[in-house]
């Protein structure tokens, strides 16, 4: 009997306690409510939030590092570094006809922002990415709008111009390279002649064995080739002043040159740089290309193209749709 | 006491609505039924609307939320919008369901609640029929809703629905005993079965209310609140629709308008129960302040009706408050509470009340000696 009443007392007490708690919550509701009326108010988003990207176009140098880093290949870049494409957005020494991201694929990993040498691409605050159609997920970062039909027409229309610019540049380069090669040959021939001359001299020395004379001549002998080498180098610089001069101080330019061009040329063009293509290539290769420019660049471009096609088939319907369109 | 019989009521309404007299005579009764039926339906619907909105807001505030905010100021039109949405929904009847019963069940449940409103006095004269067995009538008709629910559970051809309906039947049958005991206690005090008489007995200062009539009346009061919660299958007694066990009990298969009829019926029944608590223990439509109760005319009617609605909504709030505080109890706990706690406590209180009435008949024990019959 005692437990019976005790139990009733305990239950009543706990009920009263619980009701007191809810009552306090009810009365103080106005102060405590945590709800944010979302479409009308917006929560404060942390500054490192990874929302949709935004691009500082004027900083972009069209290096394709972001699209290379992208694990899902959702960044599509087109443009030219060979000259100004009319009607395009101007980056830093580059004109961009397209910089779009497919948010249907993007995983917001931030890997595109990390390698950017000019820090022009950032993750933004925007998180509401609802769209009713799949192609609305493609965002044009140059205009911060959906990558629409008109944009695509513009991009496709500009491909010929980009190709033209690329070919133009290639042609100029080939000419320069030829000139450089000729100059080198000339230099090499001169050198050989000199060496032959120099080679003759020591023999003469040994043969003659006139020590003082040799001593007197020795300082002169090294000096001579050096003096002659200089003139030999000079014709080089004279005939191909930019080929050599540009190659050494600014490795970035020639690096990017050979590969992106053929890539853009490739029919679909949606996929920017072939991943294996040159950006990371060191200077020595560049020199090779300078030696035999036309063939080398073609060879390097072809495997890239094949790979691209495979990627497109494998990845998603996005690029393939574009292929159909184009 | 006003002798309101059905016949007298008909003549009263005929006088109120002169256009009825111009109709052919055989249409008088159906038209009257229609007109008088319209009032409870309107009240039930409005109470449903307000009740659902209140429930949402109360639950939201108790959980540090805002609740509905989109339609109307502070979301006041949300329930209306939901009602319109439910009306526009597809009418789905399961293929294996018992069609006639399935269609009839929500109507039966609603009719049960609708009939309850007939015996609720909103004012001395604002009552559809002041039956001389009003309390009996309420106790009897309250079970009709259960019939509707068992029909729904059976007709749905769904084990969850059937289990919910069976639980409902067991629960309501069990809790009719403590409810009956509480009603009998009130009848002992009032000396009448008529609802209007019961309220009139409590006229005057609020110390005349039945809850203050004798020292054990508050036990009956609390027992009645608990038992009515169980009868209404409200939390913590919502075993028949236990979401975590039975999907949603008897209305698992219901959708659209049929579902909303169940919903409205539930809130109507909640309101009736709250009004009953007010009527039986807290002076019904009287405010408990004599000079306010003695006002005549339309203002007096408004005050009295307002008082009843105010009390009823206070208990509605209590029901919600309990719902959002207490977890659902187990089936065995539910029966334990009924048979081992409420019934013995009710019996003891009833016997004490009976003796009290024998020894000290009259007004409230708290006004005993210094304010007998104050303000009557």
Please tell me the distance from the alpha carbon of residue A303 to that of residue B53, in angstroms, as a whole number: 68
Are A138 and A211 part of one and the same domain?
A: no
Domain with residue A113: its CATH number is: 3.30.70.3270
CB A256 within 8 A of CB A274: no
Burial A249-267 (b: 16+ CB within 10 A, else e): eeeeebbbbbbbbbbbbbe
Residue of A nearest to B236 (CA): A15
Give the residue-averaged pLDDT of A101-121. 87
Token pair of B215, please? 């020292």
Please answer whether residues B338 and B178 qualify as being in contact, where contact means their C-beta atoms are separated by less than 8 angstroms. yes
Question: Are A242 and A256 in a shared domain?
Answer: no
Let me know if residue A233 belongs to a domain.
yes
Is A163 inside any structural domain? Answer: no
Cis peptide before B236 (omega within 30 of 0): yes
| Residues of chain B with C-beta less than 8 angstroms from the C-beta of A29 | 60-62, 64
Give the residue-averaged pLDDT of B42-59.
86
Q: State residue A279's pLDDT score.
A: 46
| Contact with chain A for residue B302, Cβ under 8 A | no
Confirm or reject contact between A22 and chain B (CB < 8 A). yes
Q: Which of A101, A130, A147 is the last residue of a domain?
A: A147
Are A85 and A130 contained in the same domain? yes
Helical axes B217-231 vs B297-323, angle rounded to 10°:
70
Share of chain B above pLDDT 90, in %: 5
Instruction: Specify whether A57 is located in the same domain as A143.
Output: yes
pLDDT on residue B126 = 75
Contacts of A212 (CB under 8 A, 6+ apart): none
What gap in Å lies between CA A148 and CA A325, rounded to an integer? 12
**Residues A236 and A178 reside in one and the same domain:** yes
A286 and A307 share one domain:
yes
Of B239, B249, B237, B138, nearest in space to B194 by CA:
B138
Using the 3D structure, point to which of A248, A270, A288 is the last residue of a domain: A248
Model confidence band, residue A309 (pLDDT cutoffs 50, 70, 90)? very low
Contact in structure between B179 and B231 (CB atoms under 8 Å): yes
What phi and psi, each to the nearest 5 degrees, are found at residue A122?
-135, 160
Both structure tokens of B208? 């005349």
- Beta partners for residue A98, in sequence order: A78
Report the Cα B310 to chain-centroid distance in Å: 14
- The span from the CA of B201 to the CA of B193, in Å, is 12
Determine the distance from the C-alpha atom of residue A143 to the mean position of all C-alpha atoms in its chain, rounded to a whole number.
20
Please say whether the beta carbons of A261 and A304 come within 8 A: no
Enclosing domain of residue A268:
250-321
- B325 vs A: CB within 8 A: yes
pLDDT of residue B9: 59
H or E stretch at B346: helix B343-359
Contacts of B118 (CB under 8 A, 6+ apart): B40, B128, B129, B131, B137
On whether residue A215 sits in a domain, the answer given is: yes
Token pair listed for A273 = 């740089």
A22: nearest CB among B62, B65, B341: B62
Distance between CA B206 and CA B359 in Å, rounded? 22
Neighbouring C-beta atoms of residue A117, cutoff 10 Å? 10
Give how far Cα A139 sits from Cα of A51, A67, A105, A316, Å.
Answer: 13, 15, 11, 16
The reply to whether A225 and A276 lie within a common domain is no
Q: What's the mean pLDDT in A195-199?
A: 75
What mean pLDDT comes out for the span B145-158? 86
Q: What is the pLDDT of residues A64-89, one digit of tens each?
A: 888 888 899 888 888 888 878 777 88
Q: Are B116 and B128 in contact (CB under 8 A)?
A: no
Same structural domain, A69 and A106: yes
pLDDT surpassing 60 at residue A317:
no
In a domain, A254, yes or no: yes
Domain count of chain A? 3
DSSP string covering B35-68:
HHHHHHHHHHHHHHHHHHHHHHHHHHHHTT----
Q: How far apart are CA A250 and CA A31, in angstroms?
A: 63
**Residue B271 pLDDT exceeds 70:** yes
pLDDT tens sequence across A213-252: 444 444 444 444 444 444 444 444 444 444 444 444 444 4
Cβ within 8 Å, pair B66-A33: yes
Give yes or no: residues A212 and A242 share one domain: yes
Q: How many inter-chain contacts (A to B, CB under 8 Å) are there?
A: 39
Nearest CA distance, A4 vs chain B (angstrom):
9
Does B33 touch chain A if contact means CB atoms closer than 8 Å?
no
Which residues in chain B have their CB less than 8 angstroms from residue A37's CB?
A: 66, 69
Query: For residue B249, is it left (φ>0), alpha (ψ between -120 and 50) or beta?
Result: left
Put simply, whether A32 touches B (Cβ < 8 Å) is yes
Query: Above 80 in pLDDT, residue B362?
Result: no
Burial class (CB within 10 angstroms; exposed 0-12, middle 13-18, buried 19+) of B126: middle
A111: pLDDT strictly greater than 50: yes
A16 touches chain B (CB under 8 A): no
For residue A17, is it within any domain?
no
Task: For residue B90, give how far its alpha carbon lies from the nearest alpha carbon of chain A (Å).
Answer: 25
Q: Is residue A209 part of a domain?
A: yes
User: A285 and A303 share a domain?
Assistant: yes
With contact defined as beta carbons under 8 Å apart, do B304 and B255 qualify? no
DSSP-assigned states of every residue in B200-226: HHT-SSGGGSGGGTSTTHHHHHHHHHH
pLDDT range class, residue A16, cuts 50, 70, 90: very high
Q: How far apart are CA B92 and CA B212, in angstroms?
A: 51
Q: How far is CA B121 from CA A96, A193, B276, in A?
A: 81, 128, 10
Average pLDDT over residues B350-373: 66
| pLDDT over 50 at A310, yes or no | no
Give the Å distances, CA to CA, from A13 to A5, A7, A17, A20, B320: 12, 10, 6, 10, 19
Query: Is the sign of the CA dihedral A69, A70, A72, A78 positive or negative?
Result: negative
Please identify among residues 67-126 of chain A the ones whose CB lies closer than 8 Å to any CB of chain B.
none
**pLDDT surpasses 60 at B213:** yes
Please, which residues bridge with residue A123 across strands? A53
Is the pLDDT confidence value at A308 over 70?
Answer: no
Contacts of B65 in chain A (CB under 8 A): 33-35
Contact present, A267 and A260 (Cβ < 8 Å): no
Residue-wise burial string across B16-50, b where 16 or more C-beta atoms lie within 10 A, e elsewhere: eeeebeeeeeeeeeeebeeeeeeebeebbeebbbb
Supply the DSSP symbol for A104. Answer: T
Q: What is the DSSP string of B130-157?
A: --TTHHHHHHHHTTHHHHHHHHHHHHTT
Residue of B nearest to A7 (CA): B341
Is the pLDDT score of A318 beyond 50?
no
Instruction: State which H helix or E strand residue A139 sits in.
Output: strand A138-140
Is A34 within the bounds of a domain?
Answer: no
In a domain, A153, yes or no: no
Helix (H) or strand (E) holding A153: helix A149-208
| B65/A34 touch (CB, cutoff 8 Å), yes or no | yes
Q: By three-state DSSP, how is residue A96 classified?
A: strand
- What's the pLDDT score for residue A13? 92
The whole-angstrom separation of Cα B315 and Cα B108 is 25
Mean pLDDT of A258-272: 43
pLDDT confidence bin for A316, thresholds 50/70/90: very low
Q: Do A22 and B325 touch (CB under 8 A)?
A: yes
pLDDT for the residue B7: 55
The predicted-structure confidence for B277-319, as pLDDT tens digits, reads as follows: 988 888 888 887 777 777 777 788 888 888 888 999 999 999 8
Cα A131 from Cα B305, distance rounded (Å): 53
Please provide the average confidence, as pLDDT, over all residues in chain A: 69
pLDDT greater than 50 at residue A48: yes
pLDDT of A118 over the 60 cut: yes
Name residue A100's beta-bridge partners: A76, A140
Residue A324: the pLDDT is 46
pLDDT of residue A223: 46
Measured between CB atoms, which of B58, B65, B322 is closest to A33?
B65
Pair A57, A142 in one domain? yes
3-state secondary structure B273-327: HHHHHHHHHCCCCCCCCHHHHCCCHHHHHHHHHHHHHHHHHHHHHHHHHHHCCCC
Q: Is the pLDDT of residue B116 over 50?
A: yes
Q: What local confidence, expressed as pLDDT, does residue A96 receive?
A: 84
């Amino acid at each position: 009997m005692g437990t019976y009443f005790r139990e009733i007392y305990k239950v009543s007490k706990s009920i009263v306690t619980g009701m007191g708690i809810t009552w306090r919550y009810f009365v103080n509701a106005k102060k405590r409510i945590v709800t944010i009326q979302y479409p009308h108010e917006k929560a404060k988003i942390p500054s490192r939030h990874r929302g949709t990207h935004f691009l500082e176009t004027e900083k972009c140098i069209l290096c394709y590092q972001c699209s290379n880093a992208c694990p899902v290949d959702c960044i599509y870049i087109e443009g030219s570094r060979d000259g100004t494409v009319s009607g395009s957005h101007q980056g830093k020494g580059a004109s961009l006809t397209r910089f779009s991201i497919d948010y249907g694929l993007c995983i917001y990993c931030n890997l595109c922002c990390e390698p950017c040498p000019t820090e022009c691409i950032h993750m933004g605050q925007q998180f509401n990415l609802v769209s009713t159609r799949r192609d609305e997920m493609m965002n044009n970062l140059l205009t911060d709008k959906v990558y629409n039909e008109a944009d695509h027409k513009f991009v496709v229309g500009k491909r010929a111009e980009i190709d033209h610019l690329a070919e133009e540049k290639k042609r100029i380069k080939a000419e320069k390279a030829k000139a450089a090669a000729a100059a080198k040959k000339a230099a090499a021939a001169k050198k050989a002649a000199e060496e032959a001359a120099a080679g003759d001299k020591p023999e003469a020395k040994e043969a003659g064995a006139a020590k003082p004379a040799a001593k007197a001549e020795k300082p002169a002998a090294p000096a001579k080739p050096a003096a002659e080498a200089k003139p030999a180098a000079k014709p080089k610089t004279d005939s191909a002043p930019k080929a050599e001069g540009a190659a050494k101080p600014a490795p970035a330019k020639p690096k990017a040159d050979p590969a992106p061009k053929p890539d853009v040329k490739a029919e679909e063009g949606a996929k920017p740089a072939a991943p294996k293509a040159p950006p990371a290539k060191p200077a020595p290769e560049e020199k090779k290309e300078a030696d035999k420019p036309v063939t080398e660049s073609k060879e390097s471009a072809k495997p890239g193209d094949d790979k691209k096609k495979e990627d497109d088939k494998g990845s998603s319907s996005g690029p393939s749709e574009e292929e159909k369109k184009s | 006491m006003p002798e309101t019989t059905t016949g007298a009521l008909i003549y009263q309404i005929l006088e109120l609505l002169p256009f009825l007299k111009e109709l052919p005579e055989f249409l008088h009764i159906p038209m009257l039924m229609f007109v008088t039926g319209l009032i409870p339906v309107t009240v039930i619907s409005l109470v449903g609307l307000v009740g659902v909105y209140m429930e949402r807001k109360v639950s939201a505030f108790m959980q540090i939320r805002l609740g509905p905010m989109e339609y109307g100021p502070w979301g006041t039109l949300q329930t209306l919008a939901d009602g319109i949405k439910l009306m526009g929904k597809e009418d789905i009847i399961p293929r294996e369901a018992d069609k006639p019963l399935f269609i009839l069940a929500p109507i039966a449940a609603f009719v049960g609640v609708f009939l309850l409103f007939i015996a609720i006095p909103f004012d001395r004269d604002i009552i559809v029929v002041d039956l001389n067995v009003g309390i009996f009538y309420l106790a009897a008709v309250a079970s009709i809703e259960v019939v509707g629910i068992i029909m729904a559970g059976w007709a749905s051809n769904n084990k969850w629905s059937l289990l919910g309906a069976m639980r409902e039947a067991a629960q309501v049958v069990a809790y009719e005993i403590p409810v009956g005991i509480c009603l009998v206690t009130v009848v002992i005090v009032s000396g009448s079965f008529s609802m209007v008489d019961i309220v009139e007995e409590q006229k005057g200062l609020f110390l005349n209310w039945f809850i203050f009539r004798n020292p054990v009346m508050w036990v009956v009061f609390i027992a009645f609140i608990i038992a009515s919660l169980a009868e209404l299958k409200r939390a913590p007694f919502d075993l028949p629709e236990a979401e975590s066990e039975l999907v949603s009990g008897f209305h698992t298969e219901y959708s659209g308008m049929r579902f909303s009829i169940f919903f409205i019926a539930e809130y109507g029944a909640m309101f009736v129960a709250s009004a009953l608590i007010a009527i039986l223990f807290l002076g019904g439509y009287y405010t408990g302040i004599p000079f306010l109760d003695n006002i005549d005319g339309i203002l007096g009617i408004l005050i009295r009706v307002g008082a009843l609605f105010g009390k009823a909504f206070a208990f509605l709030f209590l029901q919600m408050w309990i719902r959002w505080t207490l977890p659902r109890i187990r089936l065995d706990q539910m029966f334990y509470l009924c048979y081992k706690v409420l019934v013995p406590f009710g019996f003891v209180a009833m016997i004490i009340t009976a003796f009290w009435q024998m020894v000290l008949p009259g007004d409230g024990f708290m006004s005993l000696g210094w304010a007998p019959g104050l303000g009557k």
